[in-house]
A and B are shown apart, each in its own frame.
Chain A
Amino acid sequence: MIEAIKEIARNRELLYMITWREIRIRYKQSVMGLLWAILMPLIITGAGIMVRIVAAKVSGNPITSADIGGIGIKALPWAFFVSALRFGTTSLTGNSNLVTKIKFPRLLFPLSSVLTSLFDMAIAFPVLVLLLPLSGVRFAATMVWIPALLVTLVMFTAGLSILFAAANLFFRDIKYIVEVILTFAIFFTPVLYDASLAGKWRWVLMLNPVAVVLDGLQATIVRMRPPDVAWLAYSAVAATLLLCGGVVFFRRLEPRFAESI
């Protein structure tokens, strides 16, 4: 693991260039340009509002602007998670000519997918900051938790991307599996709804570190409450283990990449 970090530090320029290439291509090719980064969270938020309206009709509790703010806050990291994982899974197979022709740490590929998606999130972030006050969000001291939550999310995402990137190189059907999981994961993760809706089954949802992060973000920003620290600690440990495990697994398989791709 330490070896891996050193290797990445040595090749940070390369990581920067590969990420820069991804960003450059994504924004150069698409007609929508920067809108690309905003569109996905917007659609998720729209879907969330839709679900809330239906839920409000059924339960009789009226939908509040804070609810909508909460959805917006969760939509952005979720969009990051989905896009990082999607691009990360195919990051090695999509760069097969580099994998077979040039020697450098292959870890840079899934990592650059994560960084690229992080960049998208950063682009959409100001939009969220402008819109949130409309739903009644005010600055609160609890927001100091945000970095810890985001770091956990990024580590977890990176760990999964690394695992799936390596797995997809050997088994090309992994990307379809990931695709299917990502499509339905939104129902198993409290993005469009609140984890508390599950009542006593909340803990099942919270086993998913992404759910903990999203729930935490909503708590700290909208409700001005600290996140569920025990669950956050669990998620941070899970994310760290996953990332380390992913890196070790990845590096063990790395010598076989060129001949197996």
Chain B
Amino acid sequence: MSEYALRMQNVYKRFRRGEKHDSLRDLVPSLVKRAVRGDRERALAPEEFWVLNDISFDLRRGETLGIVGHNGAGKSTMLKHLSGIMEPTRGSIEVNGRLSALIEVGAGFHPDLTGRENVFLNGVILGMTRQEIKRKFDEIVAFAELEDFIDTPVKRYSSGMFARLGFSVAAHLEPDILVIDEVLSVGDFAFQRKGLDKMRAVAKGGATVIFVSHNLQAVAEFCERGILLERGRVIEDGPTDQVVRRYLDTAAVHSDRQVAGPARITRTTISTADGQTGRFIAGQPARISVSVEALSRAEKVAVVLDVFNTDFYEVFNTSSERLGQEPVSLDPGQRAECTFDVELNLGPGTYYLGVYLYRYDIQREYDHIFPATSFVVTSDRDTRGAANLFPVLSRYAVIAPPELARRVAN
């Protein structure tokens, strides 16, 4: 067997942006055009772009690889190529071993079927045999903590329960190569921890793992090696820490991004009242403003803020919705501005601000920039940690009784 679990060599993938003809009515004119022009190894047409642009890397058995990159950098497309769902326009992909891809939790779940039925269905879809599922069934249900609801149709589940069950099935696969896309961001915090621990156990068992997440902390903790993608190219490949740092340093280009959703973030600033940016003094009031633009009709857009420190711990998170502000709906071309007044009660250090556009009721992410901007906080006091409690040392004196003090002195 090859020492490599996975090899990608000079992989290119051409995508077309905008509308495709997907009715026969539109096909005929385009066929005529194509017949006149010829196809195949041609150059890019104006409406086309390389979503993967000359990607090459090898992955050894047992390696854990994290893929990071901004929205639209090509992460998901790359995973789809690894798992064989898509085929490259050019280049070769070699996969040695049984590969399982968790690109969506609960794929194939049907709302009218019970949890039990869905476990079997989903398990087989993900590549297990029914015997295997039977054997692991109790374990799967226990892991999802759904023993009491397993015979309830999943349409009565909360979204958290749904996600937990889906993840639990997936976590009990025993693949040689495991590809995980963002699925760990399901459920509550405790369950995310549990999921990450489970993945770690899979990796310890010798599996090769490829992990894509916006949760940089998880990527850094979990993966030994990282790849940074930008506009379909690998721009950094090395130890995760180094890759994540590079990622954070490449400030997101706000405009000129491909976004899937109907709305995008066009500008993010954090500044003091007198317009100063970049450096702040702890405790200082600051204003964060986010500009939003609708590309098509965007319903119920809420703005979410996320502050991370350099260890990628989330130190702060809020949103317009959680601050009691109704989400806004935008017509195509319409813009909106959202301003948060904050006090930077942070410990000294560098922080990264992430911004999301999110629709809460259907849990849809319209856009996501991380980091949208970064800033440095300094303090007149030497403290460590993410929070700043503004300590004032008011007293420090020996208060032992005199005889004890004497004994110590002697």
Contacts and interface: CB of A to CB of B under 8 A. Distances in A.
Contacts of B130: 13, 17
A255 interface: yes
B31 to A, nearest CB: 12
A173 B112 contact: no
B125 A102 contact: yes
B113 A21 contact: yes
A98 B84 contact: no
A14 interface: yes
B280 to A, nearest CB: 43
B125 A260 contact: no
Interface in B327-377: none
Contacts of B117: 21, 24
B17 interface: no
A57 interface: no
B101 A25 contact: no
Nearest to A177: B24
Contacts of B113: 21, 24-25, 28
B86 interface: yes
Determine which residue in B15, B104, B108 has the highest number of CB atoms from chain A within 10 A of its CB, and name it: B108
Given A13-B124, A14-B125, A259-B15, A102 B108 contact: yes
A255 B83 CA distance: 12
B304 interface: no
B25 to A, nearest CB: 7
B121 interface: yes
A259 B14 CA distance: 10
Contacts of B87: 255-256
Contact of B24 (A95, A171, A258): A171
B380 interface: no
Interface string B83-116: 1111100000000000001011001101011000
B129 to A, nearest CB: 6
A95 B107 CA distance: 10
Contacts of A98: 107-108, 125
Contacts of B104: 97, 101-102
A29 interface: yes
B110 A25 contact: yes
B24 A255 contact: no
A25 B112 contact: yes
A258 B23 contact: no
B25 A102 contact: no
A255 B86 contact: yes
Interface in A164-210: 170-174, 177
9 contacts: A13-B124, A17-B124, A21-B113, A101-B101, A102-B125, A103-B84, A172-B23, A173-B23, A255-B86
Interface of A: 13-14, 17, 20-21, 24-25, 28-29, 95, 97-98, 100-104, 170-174, 177, 255-256, 258-260
Given A97-B107, A258-B85, A258-B86, 15 more contacts: A21-B117, A21-B121, A28-B113, A97-B108, A100-B80, A101-B107, A102-B85, A102-B125, A103-B83, A103-B84, A171-B22, A255-B86, A258-B80, A259-B15, A260-B22
